[in-house]
Chains A and B, each alone.
Chain A
Amino acid sequence: MAIRKKKRKEIFAQGNEAVGEGALLAGCSFFGGYPITPSTEIAEFMAARLPYTETGVFVQMEDEIAGLGSVIGASLAGRKGMTATSGPGFSLMQEHIGYACMTEVPLVLVNVMRGGPSTGLPTSPAQGDVQQARWGTHGDHPVIVLSASDVQECLDMTVVAFNFAEKYRTPVILLLDEVTAHTREKVVIPEAEDLEVLSRVTPSMPAEWYIPYEETMRGVPAMPAIGSGYRYHVTGLTHDDHGYPTSKPQEVRDLMTRLFRKIDQFFYDVQLVDQYECDDAEVVGVSYGCVARSAHLAVTQARQRGIKAGLLKLKTLFPFPRPVVEGMARQCRALIVPEMNMGQISREVKRVNNGLAHIMTINRVDGSIITPSEILKTILQA
């Protein structure tokens, strides 16, 4: 029997296009958004490709608020939906992120970070939206925030983002930066059969038995598409398990605790990190996004000089991967946190570290990337 070796499908693409490819592979069939640099290529990609798919829809909305609103609507109607934006647009979307958390609507929001605040540096990279992604919308809420550091990861993490969104019925924010989004390099498109693609659980019981926000072990209720025969009420008001508004303390508490529990209890599933040379490391860089690539080279160079350095690349930013960072803090003499903001992830690292290791930060907010030599210099000082 002849074994046919499949030719891998490889493309040369930028990060934004890889996000689009990943979305299509994950089953995304709706995109609603508004153009903004440096994320626009995602919208352009989806506008060109979605109409060729079976049911794909692209709508250019009048602003970012409308963009995310339309994605929530489409997701309620059974679609896997995505929007993409940058800095100012991300700020405008905050209210609807909260709505999606409260109503448990799966969706993916890609934020290609640029320099801020305000209009800031539209064509330069930054990592200033990290804590906004976690806490931007009002009210206490859980949310999943992912990041990617190269073009291949843009594709892979977009698929992961859709899977998490569908599995946990939650908005997932994918944070990229201008450099990752606009770098062009080789991307391998995975075969459909090699890819794990998850979709939301839909109810199978008779419609009259269906309780929209029923308490279950998983904490993630089944979600019907609008029009599929399960009529229920969706509201951003605090609601009881039938979806009707409530202000009874017990019902409010039940909802809020379940919203947190459904993500917290799957901690180990959600928290993704990559370790490089960490096993015997005494100095470890904790990094994410394009800075992780600089850190990778810096660690390799440090190893060449005989320094036991390592890299912990965070692919999940929130819920913050506490166990692994804490392990590193116990193992290492020093943790180095390079990032393109004044210290947003280093806050989390310091909190988890709790005095165990020496924390060194490298912060840059001038629209330029942190170079390997800057990181190497700090490793040498550690």
Chain B
Amino acid sequence: MAQVTQLIHHYLRHNKKFPHVYCPGCGHGIILGSLIRSVHSLQLPKDDVVLVAGIGCSGRMAVYVDFNTVHTTHGRALTFATGIKMANPKLKVIVVMGDGDALSIGGNHLIHAARRNIGLTALILNNNIYGMTGGQSSPTSPEGTRSATAPFGQLEKSFDVVSLARSAGANFVARSTVMHVKLMDRLITTALTRPGFNLVELMTPCHTQYGRKNGFKTNVDMYKWYKKHATPLERYEKMTPEEREERIPIGVFRERTCQGLEERYEAMRQNLREGR
């Protein structure tokens, strides 16, 4: 515990007036803890780390940590991050987005960041709902779930972030839930060390806006649900389609080490300079 407190003191901003905005039972703090442990384990200097965030509950993460932080516009965090990375490839650029942020308003940017294979680490904090605006349906709200804008149940199908990122061309695609902290630490650490576009989807509960409307009595029930339904990919692949229903596969879905756009651009510049 003392070690954890030390880490918090080292990486959080002391001059920022806490408390934070997260509700009791929210998983975002667990993810922030995991991110801090990952950065710490890699001994990345704080000056070299840039945390770019979008708008929403996840977006507020940027203000709490003592990195270079940019709280951007809704859905467009990846575009700012692309500019930062291309301008200074030495920086370690982490992009934190919510599900509405990354997949609805920012869906186009996500596809193209993956296609471009720009050297970023994207964390998508997926709580299946628009939390900050009061619990409206998001592109990952499962069919049939209730929300402030789907009071009679969501009619639309939801997005599978992993399949999307994989087919768009991301180097590294993985998923974890906040109940699987060891896995989450490992995935974020790996994503931070790989070249090109790395995406980790992190399932996180929002009891306040999602759970209460969808039959979860307490926030603990939501964590239990994740524990019960999350299945390691190896096991998930052996399951029959019936068994797969309601299961969330977790683990690494794609691993490549193709050069990032910034490296390819630098190589081109070098070639031009040498007249090749």
Indicate if A232 sits at the interface (CB-CB under 8 A). yes
The contact size tier of chain B is 35 or more
* Contact between B82 and A61, CB atoms less than 8 A apart: yes
- Mask: chain A, 273-296; 1 = CB below 8 Å from B; 0 = not: 000000000000000000000000
For B52, what are the chain A residues with a Cβ–Cβ distance below 8 Å? 73
Closest to B46 in A: A231
Chain A positions 82 through 107: 1 when the CB is less than 8 Å from some CB of chain B, otherwise 0 = 00000000000001100100000000
B15 is an interface residue with CB less than 8 A from chain A: yes
Q: A59-B86, A231-B47 are in contact. Are A51 and B73 (CB under 8 A)?
A: no
Residues of A within 8 A of B84 (CB): 73-74, 76-77, 226
Which residues of B, 76-100, contact A by the 8 Å Cβ criterion? 76, 78-88, 90-91
Contact A72 B80 (CB under 8 A): yes
A234's nearest neighbour on chain B, judged by CB, is B70
- A234 pairs with B69, CB closer than 8 A: yes
Q: Is B112 among interface residues, defined by CB-CB distance under 8 A?
A: yes
Chain B residues contacting A59 (CB-CB under 8 Å) are 82-83, 86, 261
**Bound complex: CA of A234 vs CA of B53, how far in Å?**
10
Binds B, one of A62-70, A109-117, A176-184, A329-337: A62-70
A32 near B16 with CB under 8 A, answer no
A209 contacts chain B at the CB level, 8 A cutoff: no
Number of interface residues of A (CB under 8 A): 43
Selecting from B181-189, B229-237, B264-272, the interface stretch reads B264-272
Contacting residues, chain B, for A245 (C-beta < 8 A): 63
Report whether B68 and A73 are in contact in the complex, using a CB–CB cutoff of 8 Å.
no
Interface residue from B88, B109, B112, B269 paired with A78 (Cβ < 8 Å):
B88
Query: A242 with B15: in contact, given A59-B86, A78-B88 (CB under 8 Å)?
Result: yes
The answer for the CA separation of A63 and B113 in the assembled complex, in Å, is: 12
Known: A76-B84, A244-B63. A227 touches B90 (CB 8 A): yes
User: Does chain A have a CB within 8 A of B50?
Assistant: yes
Taken together as a complex, chains A and B put the C-alpha atoms of A237 and B74 apart, in Å, by 12
Interface residue A164 (Cβ < 8 Å from any Cβ of B):
no
The reply on A318 being an interface residue by CB < 8 A is: no
Do B86 and A69 have beta carbons less than 8 Å apart? no
The answer on a CB contact under 8 Å between A69 and B83 is yes
When the two chains form the complex, which single residue of B50, B81, B268, B272 contacts A227, counting CB atoms closer than 8 Å?
A: B50
Q: List chain A residues, Cβ under 8 A from B218.
A: none
A-B contact pairs, 9 of them (CB 8 A): A51-B269, A51-B272, A61-B82, A65-B79, A66-B76, A69-B72, A72-B80, A72-B83, A226-B68
Additional A-B contact list (15), CB under 8 Å, known A77-B83, A79-B87:
A51-B268, A51-B272, A52-B269, A59-B83, A66-B82, A70-B86, A74-B86, A76-B80, A77-B88, A227-B88, A232-B69, A233-B63, A233-B69, A236-B71, A242-B15
